[in-house]
Structure 1
Amino acid sequence: MAGRKATMADVAAAAGVSVATVDRVLNGRGGVAPDKEARILAAARRLRLDRALQLRPNRTLRVAVLIQGPGNPFHAALQAGFDLAARLHAELNLQFLVHHLDPNDPAAIAALVRRQAGRVDGMIVTCPDEPRIGRALRDFAAHRPVVTLATDLPDCGRAAYVGPDDRRAGRVAGDLMGLCLGAAGGRVLLIAGRRDIAGQRQREEGFRAILAERHPGIVVAAVAESREDGERAGHLVLERLGADPAIRGIYHMSAGARPVVEALRRLGRAGETVFVTHELTEDRRALLRERAIAALIDQQPELEARLAVETMARLLGRLDGEVATVLTDFRIYLPENA
Structure 2
Amino acid sequence: MSRKPTMDDVAALAGVSIATVDRVLNRRGGVKPDREARVLAAARGLKIDRQLGRSYAHRLRVAVLIQTAANPFHAALGSAVAAANREFLSLNIQFLVHHLDPNRPDRIPGLIDRLARAHDGLIVASPSSPEIAASLRLAAATIPVATLATDVPGSGRHAYVGADDVQGGRVAGDLIGRFLGSAGGDVLMIAGLLSMAGHRDRENGFRAVLREHFPACRVVAVEESRETAEGAGDVAAAALRTHPDLRAIYLTSAGADRVVEALSAAGAPSMVFVTHELTEDRRVLLRSRKIDAIINQDTAIEVRSVTHIMAQLLGRADGAVETVLAPVRIFTAENC
Shorter-chain TM-score: what band? over 0.9
Deviation (angstroms), 1:141: 1.6
Give the secondary structure class of the aligned counterpart of 1:310: helix
Aligned-pair distance for 1:324?
1.7
Which residue identity lines up with residue 26 of structure 2 in the other structure? Answer: N
Matching residue within 275, 278, 281 for 1:280: 278
Give the structure 1 partner of residue 252 of structure 2.
Answer: 253
- Residue type of the partner of 2:227? E
Tell me what 2:318 maps to. 320
Cα deviation, 1:220-271, whole Å, max 9, x if unaligned, reads 011111000101211111111122110100000000011111111111211x
One-letter amino acid matched to 1:273? M
Please state how far the C-alpha of 1:49 moved relative to its aligned partner: 4.8
* Correspondence for 2:214: 215
Question: Whole-Å Cα distance in 1 between the matches of residues 281 and 49 of structure 2?
Answer: 47
Superposed displacement of residue 323, structure 1:
1.3
Query: 1:22: Cα distance to partner?
Result: 3.0
Describe the SS at the equivalent of 1:211. Answer: helix
Count, aligned residues: 336
Q: How far did residue 89 of structure 1 move?
A: 1.6
Aligned to 1:230: 229
Please report how far the alpha carbon of residue 44 of structure 1 lies from its aligned counterpart in structure 2 after TM superposition. Answer: 4.1
Q: Please name the residue that 2:242 is paired with.
A: 243
Matched, 1:41 2:40: yes
Question: Percent of aligned pairs with the same residue?
Answer: 57
Residue 292 of structure 2 aligns with an amino acid whose one-letter code is: A
Tell me the SS of whatever aligns to 1:248: strand
1:296 match = 294
Query: Alpha-carbon deviation of 1:32?
Result: 2.8
Would you say the 8 A contact 2:191–2:199 is kept in 1?
A: yes
TM-superposition CA deviations, 1:8-60 (whole Å, max 9, x none):
67755764656543332122112333223113323445666554246322211
SS of the residue corresponding to residue 118 of structure 2 reads: coil
What is the TM-score when the length of structure 1 is the normalising length? 0.93
- Counterpart amino acid of residue 77 in structure 1: A
Q: Structure 2: give runs of 5+ residues left out of the alignment.
A: none
Distance verdict in 2 for CA 1:40–1:238, change over 3 Å: same
Deviating more after overlay: 308-317 vs 20-29: 20-29
Q: Distance in 1 between matches of 2:49 and 2:70?
A: 45
Question: Which residue of the partner structure matches residue 67 of structure 1?
Answer: 66
Give, in whole Å, the separation in 1 of the partners of 2:44 and 2:275: 44
Identify which range, 156-165 or 28-37, moves more after superposition: 28-37
Q: Tell me: CA distance 1:265–1:48, structure 2 relative to 1, closer, same or farther (3 Å).
A: farther
TM-score (norm 2): 0.94
Please give the residue correspondences for 1:121-132 in structure 2 after superposition, counting only pairs within 5 Å: 121-132=120-131
Q: Give the equivalent residue in structure 2 for 1:136.
A: 135
- Residues 45 and 52 in structure 1, CA contact (< 8 A), matched pair in contact too: no
* Distance in structure 1 (CA, Å) of the matches to 2:122 and 2:116: 10
Say if 1:41 and 1:57, in contact at 8 Å, map to a contact too.
no
State the partner residue of 1:311: 309
Task: Give the aligned residue type for 2:291.
Answer: I
* Worse overlay, 9-18 or 177-186: 9-18
Q: Deviations over 1:45-86 (max 9, x none)?
A: 566655424632221111111100011000011111111112
Unaligned runs of 5+ in 1: none
RMSD: 2.0
Within a 5 Å distance, the mapping from 1:99-248 to structure 2 comes to 99-248=98-247
- Contact kept, 8 Å, 1:310 with 1:319, in 2: the verdict is yes
